[in-house]
Structure 1
């Protein structure tokens, strides 16, 4: 069921069409403006990092891109076509999958059950679970991600945080994702486990997937990112490529830029 990633079609100008694109997207909840004027492009074979502090609008952006919420204004385009994503299932049918921080796994269930949770393989006239096929497929798909689990019958809670993240990523890829939206995948992990997840993000990019990496860690973003977008209170404050910004500048912008310099000056007086 794993999909081959097709190269995005070229436009007349020779530029590749984004897998998903936001054009002046905004989202309001009554009088509260959660997002305003968001322009975002996700290309195949690239990692787009969306950075921002708590309350910056990252969660709303994820939910809008995943089809959970519909934008109040602006356009969402998939493969260049204006698209209305009505639900996460609708988004997944168009190749857009979201891996949330809680991973949507059941800790006491085996790894293979979690891999196929809600999309189990069945066989025969009575449609019984095809356990053998699901075990073999889970092991094979994880091995492609560089995880060689000796026992996919082990409860998923016995895996490290990094391994659980990679199970969720491999599951999304297997079920047809072309765009992977990763919600703070390294937030609760140590250095070693974060490194594991960052390697898999790079591997997904090299296989032609478009990756949206939501994070508040500029160091992690700069290690894997090709394109950086900074959100602040629902507004887009920065949009640049890897070649256009240094890690120091990215860190300063993430920390508040001029506001941080003013605070430092006040505290040093």
Structure 2
């Protein structure tokens, strides 16, 4: 696989608290890389670094081998990285089309090109096999899974290479979780590199190709999702056992 992003010795602190310590990690195209760990392990900080919310104190982020400075979410988007966080930042009073194109509306002269935006919205949702009753329904009327689908679809505008999903199945029911996980698989099929930040080992094992375990800011190991057991992952997350049987210690 081709590495879309490489982290070389990346560290980040907030005051005296070390959120990430000398993390080396590759994020590959056509791959779902899951990042797991206990609370405070550094998962959200890693998502923030990739999406331009945070900048590293030390180390280097590389895209296609070239150093980049992701100083803001806009800078990350220009480099082909989009993120969807737990707070979906959707406007409940606006419909699906308005949420998808908010701030990036298509215009026809001095008027909004509503027909073009609606057509693009349906095309994008169809590519993701996403089901919504209408692209003109207010987002407030959608289920939790549908709302996350809209947030992910919005992130795909501009066709980013890397999608960072921060806890996308939190507070969802079984059916809605399955909907989101199917969407993750479709992102991989489309050729995106997907970084799945999650606390759910079950969800991770269902869709991930590779699993990175963080503990107290350190990258403890990388695991092949197909061959690694739940016990291996729990042991690495908690520190009860060292990585083994498909895991690579860092």
TM exceeding 0.5: yes
**CA 39–170 in structure 1, closer or farther in 2 if over 3 Å, else same:** same
- Match for residue 27 of structure 2 among 39, 42, 45: 42
Aligned in 2, Cα 1:207/1:57: closer, same or farther, shift over 3 Å?
same
SS for the counterpart of 1:195 is helix
Q: Residue 87 of structure 1: CA displacement?
A: 0.9
Contact preservation (8 Å) 2:92, 2:140: yes
Would you say the 8 A contact 1:50–1:231 is kept in 2?
yes
Deviating runs (4+, > 6 A) in structure 1? none
* 8 Å contact from structure 1 (residues 92, 176) kept in 2: no
Structure 2: which 5+ runs fail to align? 243-250
Please give the alpha-carbon distance, in whole angstroms, between the structure 2 residues aligned to 1:137 and 1:153.
13
Choose from 186, 204, 211 the match for 1:221: 204
1:57-103: CA deviations, max 9, x gaps?
11111111111211011110011111111211111111100001111
Q: 1:119-130 maps to which residues of 2 (within 5 A)?
A: 119-124=104-109, 126=110, 128-130=111-113
- Give the SS at the match of 1:216: coil
Residue among 202, 221, 225 paired with 1:238: 221
After superposition, the Cα gap between the structure-2 partners of 1:186 and 1:252, relative to the gap in structure 1 and judged at 3 Å, is: same
1:84 to 52, 69, 86: 69
Superposition deviation, residue 54 in structure 1: 1.4
Contact 1:219/1:251, CA 8 A, preserved across alignment: no
TM-fit CA distance, 1:165 = 1.1
User: Is residue 109 from structure 1 mapped to residue 94 from structure 2 by the alignment?
Assistant: yes
Deviation for aligned residue 1:256: 4.7
Structure-2 residue corresponding to 1:191: 174
For the residue of structure 1 that corresponds to 2:137, the secondary structure is coil
Taking structure 1 as the reference length, the TM-score comes to 0.85
Match in the other structure for 1:28: 13
Give the aligned CA root-mean-square deviation in angstroms: 1.6
How many angstroms apart in 2 are the aligned matches of 1:145 and 1:207? Answer: 9
In 1: Cα distance, 2:58 partner to 2:228 partner: 30
CA contact (8 A) 2:86 2:168 kept: yes
Question: What's the counterpart of residue 156 of structure 1?
Answer: 139
C-alpha contact 2:23 2:218 (8 A) present in aligned 1: yes
Q: How much does 1:37 deviate? A: 1.2
Q: Distance in 2 between matches of 1:92 and 1:123?
A: 25
Count residues in correspondence: 242
Q: Is this contact kept in 2: 1:95–1:176, CA < 8 A?
A: yes
8 A contact 1:121–1:134 mirrored in 2: yes
Q: Distance in 2 between matches of 1:190 and 1:112?
A: 25
Distance 1:220 1:255, change over 3 A: farther
Alpha-carbon separation, structure 2, partners of 1:230 and 1:217: 12
Could you tell me how far apart the structure 2 residues matched to 1:106 and 1:92 are?
A: 21
| Length-normalised TM-score, structure 2 | 0.91
- 2:247 paired residue number: none
Question: Do the aligned partners of 1:35 and 1:60 also contact (CA within 8 Å) in 2?
Answer: yes
